[in-house]
Amino acid sequence: MPAKLSVNLNAVAFLRNRRDLPWPSMENLGRIALAAGAHGLTVHPRPDQRHTRRADLPILRALIDDEFPQAEFNIEGFPDEDFLRLVEQNQPEQVTLVPDDPAQPTSDHGWDFEAQYEFLAPIVARLKRGGFRVSLFANPSSSGMASAKALGTDRVELYTGPYGGYHDESENASRELDLLEESANAARALGLDVNAGHDLTVANLPALVHRIPGLAEVSIGHGLTADALEHGMAATVRRFLGALGW
């Protein structure tokens, strides 16, 4: 089965927040994306609420429950107590933990699973007791995957930013694909499922899914939203699904 597509709505929220107005609507664009075949929605509610706001979460949860019960809600963020409470209140199917500093403009690295093991272990255990699927943001490296498995996570999400950043440098992009493939193989050998995300596009997805054929899910926001400005959300979702092999 091809990798599932989760549409990250953060860029939509960022555009909305430029004015004290309710558009563009995360709910309406999420509805269009899911109706066009997306398998889920992703949000990253940062503490400063510069894009996704806390108040957006129950609206998106209700959208999925009421209209698209087969879809999944993925909430990602740094696991401080406020974030964990948001997760427990809004009950996503998947929680993706990222090591972001609140001041970061976007996620740009994965966890050091060995160095941060003691911090992550009780958090993963708490989420697992709550019935959530847990995914941990991971650098494109096989190092530390055994520690990720020992933490009890279900999945790792490979950070594809360096790969996406070489959009016009095929040799460097190929080198990053080698690292991503090696990382995915190491994770799957331990029984972990593999997600991927960051700077993925219609152009670079086919090579990624060819190298990681068992990829479970991709979460895509910036590139997908940029395409939606040209093609519309529904057509863009279909373009990305086609790039994934659906």
Active-site annotation holder among 39, 51, 72, 76: 76
222 as an active site residue: the answer is no
Active-site annotation holder among 157, 176, 181, 198: 198
Using the structure block, give the residue that is written with the tokens 């590139």: 223
13-23 b/e with 16+ CB inside 10 Å = b? beebeeeeeee
Active-site annotation holder among 44, 157, 176, 181: 44
d(CA 140, CA 160): 7
What torsion, rounded to 10 degrees, do the Cα atoms 96, 106, 241, 9 define?
A: 80
Give me 235's structure tokens: 């057509």
3-state secondary structure of 71: coil
Give me 125's structure tokens: 């255990």
Establish how many alpha carbons lie within 13 A of residue 109's alpha carbon, considering only the half-sphere containing its beta carbon.
7
Give whole-number Cα distances, 161 to 108, 191, 199, 201, 220, in Å.
7, 24, 5, 11, 11
Give whole-number Cα distances, 127 to 65, 70, 97, 171, 244, in Å.
21, 22, 11, 40, 30
Residue 24, preceding bond cis, omega within 30 degrees? yes
198 as an active site residue: the answer is yes
44 as an active site residue: the answer is yes
Cβ(62)–Cβ(34) under 8 Å?
Answer: no
Q: Tell me which residues are annotated as active site.
A: 44, 76, 198
